[in-house]
């Protein structure tokens, strides 16, 4: 597994959101909109975990799992941007905010 044993926590968190997302998917007007919703859920969940402090080895420095989660977050944000659901500035601001939280917590 990409994220090691902690990945089950992430999967559980995402699975808890699937029911709510399925309702939103039915309202979606295009596959691109659904894709953006899925990547938004991945980014939001990854943000929660990577800024929790649990994946830090010390303040401002992530452990290997934290680095993997951060990469998942950044990849998901880039995909949301490609879908057109986020502008470049919004994506950049979101990524900057997460990095600031990583520096603050840990």
Can you give the residue ranges of every domain in the chain?
4-104
- Rounded mean pLDDT for each run of 10 residues along the chain, 106 residues in total: 57 69 73 87 94 92 96 96 95 97 87
3-state secondary structure of 50: helix
Cβ-proximal residues to 22 (8 Å cutoff; 6+ apart), any chain: none
The pTM for the full model equals 0.77
Cβ-contact 98, 47 below 8 angstroms: yes
């Amino acid at each position: 597994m990409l994220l090691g044993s902690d990945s089950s926590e992430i999967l559980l968190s995402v699975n808890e959101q699937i029911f709510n997302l399925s309702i939103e998917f039915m309202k979606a007007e295009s596959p691109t909109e659904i894709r953006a919703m899925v990547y938004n859920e991945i980014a939001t969940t990854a943000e929660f975990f990577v800024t929790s402090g649990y994946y830090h080895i010390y303040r401002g420095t992530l452990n290997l799992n934290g680095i993997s989660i951060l990469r998942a977050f950044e990849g998901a944000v880039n995909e949301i941007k490609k879908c057109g659901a986020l502008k470049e500035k919004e994506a950049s601001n979101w990524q900057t905010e997460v990095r600031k939280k990583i520096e603050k917590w840990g």
